[in-house]
Chains A and B, each alone.
Chain A
């Protein structure tokens, strides 16, 4: 079983739609959680950290459920520029563990 699992997608949504991704992790001792964004043929970049209390950054909301060991990312009012691969990332011990990513395609 992979340490971090994501639905690979792709999620094809129209502009303005709300879309949500989930991610599950296997190590209950994981300490910190993040979402990274990776554009096509580009390097990953930090999108946001994920806290137990949930956090919001504009149109993006991240949630953590430690009991069920899953993390979610909600994107409201999707834009064409949101099209990318979203990587779920978990901090275990002294390293980050990356999920394989979920592809989002926003279409006009």
Chain B
């Protein structure tokens, strides 16, 4: 079974703090994604990566950055957390070659106060 893990289920941070969200997958998937999920808005793509050290902006990259130093690990960084970044953050991975089944991690509920 594919397993995608995220470093924390719940996180509370203060405005202005730098926040790191970690995601690890164990199936040698090339592609990894970060989404945020908000009520009524669905999942929105923040950043994705098709290879180590490679990243592409999604639909809402402002206020975020990412790092992919190893194939299995994709980190989301909030440089200076703000209250409007309070959300559920979901990481996902897929193989390449036209497979669009995304395997999601359990999510991190981030609250910025």
- Which positions in A face B, CB cutoff 8 Å? 4, 8, 32, 34, 42-46, 49, 87, 91, 94-96, 98-101
Contact = CB atoms under 8 A, between A and B. Distances in A.
- Residue in B41, B58, B90, B100 whose Cβ sees the most chain A Cβ within 10 Å: B100
B100 A34 contact: yes
B104 interface: yes
B106 A43 contact: yes
B72 to A, nearest CB: 18
Interface of B: 35, 40-45, 48, 56, 58, 90, 100-102, 104-107
- Residue in A44, A95, A99, A100 whose Cβ sees the most chain B Cβ within 10 Å: A44
Nearest to B101: A46
The binding surface of chain A is classed by DSSP as: strand
Given A32-B100, A95-B48, A95-B58, A100 B105 contact: no
- Residue in B40, B43, B104, B106 whose Cβ sees the most chain A Cβ within 10 Å: B43
23 contacts: A4-B42, A8-B40, A32-B100, A34-B100, A34-B101, A43-B104, A43-B106, A43-B107, A44-B43, A44-B102, A44-B104, A45-B104, A46-B101, A49-B100, A87-B43, A95-B45, A95-B48, A96-B45, A96-B100, A98-B35, A98-B43, A100-B41, A100-B42
Contacts of B40: 8, 100
A78 B106 CA distance: 26
B42 A43 contact: no
A101 B48 CA distance: 22
